[in-house]
Amino acid sequence: MTDHSEIFTLTGSELSDGLASGQFSSEEVTKSYLSRIKEVDDKVHAFLSYDEEDMLDQAKSSDQRRASGKILGPLDGVPVCLKDVISAKGQPLTAASKILEKYRSPYDATVTIKLKKAGVVVGGRLNLDEFAMGSSTENSAYGPTCNPWDLGRVPGGSSGGSSAAVAAREAPLTLGSDTGGSIRQPASLCGVVGMKPTYGRVSRYGLAAFASSLDQIGPFSQTVEDTAQLLEIISGHDPLDSTSYPTPVPSFSNEIRQPFKPCKLGLPKEFFGTGMDDDVRKSIEQSIQWYRDKGYELVEISLPTTELSIPVYYVIATAEASSNLARYDGIRYTSRSEHAENAIDVYAKSRGEGFGEEVKRRCILGAYGLSSGYYDAYYLRAQKTRTLIRNDFDKAFEQVDAILTPTSPTPAFKFGEKSEDPISMYLSDIYTISTNLAGLPGISIPCGFTENGLPIGMQLIGQAFEEGKLLSIAHDYDRELQLGRSQPSL
Ligand code: GLN
């Protein structure tokens, strides 16, 4: 019997089991998380808002369904909180921007509908870098989130609220979005599991768009098992997102329970060069050895074009962002400047007052790269190079089943350490960005701690739509080491 004061420490699958066996109700589970949020979120600041009454109503409905034997799935009654770029009808969606301060979503995102159909308690709204642009959550207009392992350090970003909430045990499961690493990097810095699915696996309908050819929604949790379960719920073709793919969704949670034969993992030599922190290197080497000892074959591979992934990403992502963010014009969606005297003023001042520095920088860069005269030199070349990056991966996957790398070159850094220097911030995504450019699935799993007790993450990259295999390889490691279960003291 679980001590009720400890409910908030459980994983999604433990909560599911406890609800099924009647150890506790969804209302008790939800109350446990709400009181945990009240206890620690002043320090962590993972949440931008939460609707207590709505969460408790959803929990009570779940308990009623259970009492009448009509649960909607294994996660019925389990809370899942959302990055504040994913629409939930009637709830705020700020994208951590001043410009959307007063906005409320008029409809549910497809992932939110899917969660509701699974009986999940759709919970609070999580902090991020404004419009998901950043790697530290320092770009939030509502103040940063702190890393639960060391409150003086960043939780990573842009989904820093989503990773910190799981690490601080303020939510068992959360969703984030990943355009260049925004799920995997904060998962790594906070010591939890985070996964970016294949581009097209999960509908983007109802996600505030940053860079539409790169954005994907994905789960955070303490274990790979929970990530598999949550991914299964949110995946699938959606006629409302023309880039979602009509491929069937296998039961990932069943797939990882099957016996799995060790396979071949690739180690890209370009990822193991300079710039990696010593503790990170040591941890990754131990993980490589772990797989070897289990009978996996580890081979060196080459992804020669990856060194171009950061410049390519910052041309393509900013171009798409400048176009996507054009809709925030002071007319629809957003706050309108009170200082505008004519129509042009409405656009210029509303955007000037509403957007933060990084968002402005990206809109300007993106518009520049798309302008006539520069389009061929920047945007078109970046698109061509993107194809070369994808080809590198295709070639690698002729040899190996998955690719193993660090998730981030360093553990969590201190506030202010990189925020004055955008380029050094951009470089912290060196290991994650190429996966988005190639549209492939990637997962970060906790694989160790630094000497100072900061978490370290390992990344596994898989073939398109082979999430089942990728999760099995990750689960093999994670079910034995269970490092995402270690809890920071707060
Ligand atoms: N850190 C990268 C950026 O700033 C990636 C962000 C993301 O994945 N949303 O663009």
Maximum Cα interatomic distance, the chain, rounded to a whole number of Å: 70
**CB burial of residue 319 (10 Å; 0-12, 13-18, 19+):** buried
What's residue 62's pLDDT? Answer: 98
Ligand 1 atom closest to Cα of 433? 5
Q: How far is the CA of 67 from the centre of ligand 1 (A)?
A: 44
Ligand 1 atom closest to Cα of 178? 8
Ligand 1 pocket test, candidate residues 136, 158, 435, most atoms within 8 A of CB? 158
Which segments of 139-215 are extended strands (E)?
173-178, 193-196
Which segments of 3-115 are extended strands (E)?
47-49, 79-83
Query: For the chain, which residues make up each domain, given as ranges?
Result: 4-262+469-485, 307-382
- Residue 318, helix vs strand vs coil: helix
- CATH code assigned to 4-262+469-485: 3.90.1300.10
What's residue 290's pLDDT? Answer: 98
What's residue 430's pLDDT? Answer: 93
CA nearest to 78, candidates 134, 127, 159, 14: 14
Distance from C-alpha of 135 to C-alpha of 137, rounded to nearest angstrom: 6
Q: How far is the CA of 56 from the centre of ligand 1 (A)?
A: 33
What's residue 2's pLDDT? Answer: 54
Residue 422 dihedral angles phi and psi, to the nearest 5°:
-55, -35
What's residue 76's pLDDT? Answer: 98
- Cα dihedral sign for 313, 300, 458, 416? negative
Helix (H) or strand (E) holding 298: strand 297-301
- Other Cβ atoms closer than 10 A to 376: 9
Distance from C-alpha of 76 to C-alpha of 62, rounded to nearest angstrom: 6
What's residue 1's pLDDT? Answer: 45
- Cα dihedral sign for 381, 384, 388, 390? positive
**CB burial of residue 1 (10 Å; 0-12, 13-18, 19+):** exposed
Whether the Cβ atoms of residue 215 and residue 325 lie closer than 8 Å to each other: no
Distance from C-alpha of 463 to C-alpha of 221, rounded to nearest angstrom: 22
Q: Pocket around ligand 1: residues whose beta carbon is below 6 Å from it?
A: 132-135, 158, 178-182, 210, 317, 429
What's residue 490's pLDDT? Answer: 92
Ligand 1 pocket test, candidate residues 135, 309, 421, most atoms within 8 A of CB? 135
Distance from C-alpha of 227 to C-alpha of 216, rounded to nearest angstrom: 15
Residue-wise pLDDT for 260-293, tens only, equals 899 999 999 999 988 899 999 999 999 999 999 9
- Work out the end-to-end distance of the chain between its first and last CA atoms, rounded to an integer number of angstroms: 25
List residues with catalytic annotation: 83, 158, 182
Which segments of 320-429 are extended strands (E)?
402-406
Ligand 1 atom closest to Cα of 358? 4
Helix (H) or strand (E) holding 221: strand 216-221
Residues of the chain with pLDDT under 70: 1-3
What's residue 4's pLDDT? Answer: 74
Ligand 1 pocket test, candidate residues 83, 84, 86, 129, most atoms within 8 A of CB? 129
Residue-wise pLDDT for 364-375, tens only, equals 999 999 999 999
In sequence order, the β-bridge partners of residue 299 are 266
Q: How far is the CA of 220 from the centre of ligand 1 (A)?
A: 17
